[in-house]
Amino acid sequence: MNANVFTTTDTTFATDVLQSPAPVLVDFWGEWCGPCKALAPMLAQLADDYGGRVKVAKLEIDRNPKTALAYGVRSAPTMLLFKGGKVQATQMGLVSKSQLTKVIDAVLKLVGN
């Protein structure tokens, strides 16, 4: 895994994501999910591209069902972009890097980063 992409869990989610001073893009994924695996290199690129301005986290939904349930994640991959402990944007399914960039840029503009 890319050094700029970290793993979060039900136990560490509040500290890792909700209390983060930087926006955090969380990839809710499954080990069994082909599109999730296809998305992983793109997320690593985004983590590098936005280094320091946006963090990228992965949460494996089968091992961390509480967090996935709390945010209504019903399918993988689902990406939620958090800032200030709140969901600012949602993207479901396998999408292009440019689509994710648009979502991230819109949130960064919104929060003034």
Contacts of 108 (CB under 8 A, 6+ apart): 23, 53, 54
Enumerate the active-site residues. 33, 36
Helix extents (H) in the chain: 13, 34-49, 65-70, 97-111
- Pairing between strand 5-7 and 55-60? parallel
